[in-house]
Amino acid sequence: MMYDVHEPEVLIVGGGLVGLTAALFLRYHGVPSLLVERRATTSPQPKARRINIRTMELFDQIGIGEAVLDAARDLSAHQAMAAGPTLADATRLPFTLPGGMPDWAAITPSTACLCAQDLLEPTLRALATERGCDIRFGVECTEFTQDATGVAATLRGAEGDTRRMRVSYLIAADGAASPIRERLGIPRSGRGTLGRAVNVYFRAELSNLVRGREFNLCQIENDRVPGAFMSVDGARRWIFSTSRDIDRPARDWPRALRIAIGEPHVDVEVMSVLPWEPGMFVADRYRDGRAFLAGDAAHVMPPYAAAGANTGIQDVHNLAWKLAAVLRGEAGPALLDTYHTERHPIGWFTADQSSVRTADLRTMAHRSTDGTAPADPIAMILGQRYPSGAFIDDNSPHTLTRLDLTGQPGTRVPHLPLPGGRSTLDLPGPGFALLTGPRADRWPQPDRLPVPVHPLDEKWCAAAGITSSGALLLRPDQIVAWRTPIAPVYPAALDSALDRVLARAHQH
Ligand SMILES: Cc1cc2nc3c(=O)[nH]c(=O)nc-3n(C[C@H](O)[C@H](O)[C@H](O)COP(=O)(O)OP(=O)(O)OC[C@H]3O[C@@H](n4cnc5c(N)ncnc54)[C@H](O)[C@@H]3O)c2cc1C
């Protein structure tokens, strides 16, 4: 039995989408981690497919966006929604969003994609291994304890061999049932279980049938086998999801699928039948001492807004730079409290909005099931604002009824295209960045500022709510930490802002 002291620094339990991205984000910040996953392989289920724009921005920040788009290429032409009495008779639905379609290039440098989880997980695993992350499949974390200085964990390999190790922090990316959350006794709140459904994953050669009508989701509207088809590779692999007849025996599914497809003689091979329950369960605390819950361990939500995995990936992006800053001694340990204060309200809001979305493709973006006002879908993905946390609030107005990113502290920095195909989103990370107007020379001691300075033009200043001598201080995760509309007169103003944001005890 080995006992390693504080090497690596972070233990990640769970090798799903959230655990694997946690390893990649920590690597980007130079933090050595060990990821353990009790399964022998990545998930064979293609559950999550929509990788949203914000997640792609984060992947682009650490240089893996292209590899993810490459893994997603089979579905690059499958963004549309469709509906009809059978797949054979379905037609595409007009693609609309409340408020109309945005000019994507004006709001983000990144591209959302559809990449089934059974393709994305191996892609992330390969990228993490390539980048030197220590990823161990077939290893279970069976026990852990924590004290004031670290976490002691017991790991068991597939052969039954055990190993004790000690780390500074633990990330529980161990899924909806989260044994770690249960052991910590963290309760969950929310709307609870909202129904029952089944996903039938099958193979059938349907490329000719759908050619010219390629779709992401195709709603089947008939009385015999209603539900929705989802494209997995857009040609041979599909999912049929329904909340009707969910206890149908596996052997009867091929016949039912042929009815929904509308082709009585097509060959259908059912690969798996996965019963699942849409529901909303949000952990009351995302942090317990040195343990942090992330992904489904922290929040479970129905898939109708395609937000579960995306929210989880965004959790660990928020956490990684904070752990790095504390481990390096650049921030006070209280910075880690802001993981809960920032991410819990986002998890709650996103799970709640996902719970009141209807599964009906014809109305889902426009209507809720219980009268709750639906947030603007783009605002929900890109435009949320942390209510409090590691930033200096200026109480400026903000709404989720449309995308409202104008440099408010606690929001993602507004995107502005820069020369060379770059964006303002490329300026922070892995460290902080100060985005100033063209008159940064008005700052006291402009050559001695403690973070890299990027002077931008007047158009940018207008978009960010500052004058030509003002600035936005950006955190490594592209969130605005501090906004000063004009150059400060006090030379240590920036250091003081950093002290507050990083929860540093000494004050300038
Ligand atoms: C039908 C369906 C469709 C969906 N569609 C979307 C979508 O389009 N977009 C989206 O964002 N989300 C979607 N989701 C949600 C998404 O699948 C989940 O939110 C996501 O997979 C959660 O990832 P995770 O890494 O947090 O957890 P998991 O994928 O559950 O991973 C947790 C891992 O931890 C491991 N583990 C647990 N305990 C231990 C231990 N003690 N030691 C070692 N390993 C352990 C488990 O084996 C597991 O592999 C969908 C979900 C469903 C069911």
Question: Counting atoms of ligand 1 from 1, which one is nearest the CA of 39?
Answer: 47
What Rg do the C-alpha atoms of the chain give, in angstroms? Answer: 24
CA distances from 53 to 39, 67, 113, 307, 312 (A): 29, 15, 8, 11, 14
Residue linked to tokens 């091979």: 269
Q: What's phi and psi for 59, nearest 5 deg?
A: -65, -40
Model pLDDT, residue 99: 73
Question: Counting atoms of ligand 1 from 1, which one is nearest the CA of 179?
Answer: 38
CB atoms within 10 A of CB 470: 23
Model pLDDT, residue 2: 45
Q: Whose CA is nearest to atom 16 of ligand 1?
A: 309
How far, in Å, from the CA of 242 to the mean position of ligand 1? 20
- Reading the block at residue 406, the tokens are 């104008």
Model pLDDT, residue 220: 97
Q: Among 37, 115, 135, say which to mutate for ligand 1: greatest number of ligand atoms within 8 Å of CB.
A: 37
Q: What is the pTM of this model?
A: 0.95
125-173 residue pLDDT tens: 999 999 999 999 999 999 999 999 999 999 999 999 999 999 999 999 9
Kindly state if the Cβ of 118 falls inside 6 Å of ligand 1.
no
How far, in Å, from the CA of 380 to the mean position of ligand 1? 21
Q: Judging by beta carbons within 10 Å of its beta carbon (0-12, 13-18, 19+), is residue 16 exposed, middle or buried?
A: buried
Kindly state if the Cβ of 426 falls inside 6 Å of ligand 1.
no
2-14 residue pLDDT tens: 444 347 999 999 9
Residue linked to tokens 């293609």: 46
299: nearest Cα among 315, 280, 314, 313:
280
199-256 residue pLDDT tens: 999 999 999 999 999 999 999 999 999 999 999 999 999 999 999 999 999 999 999 9
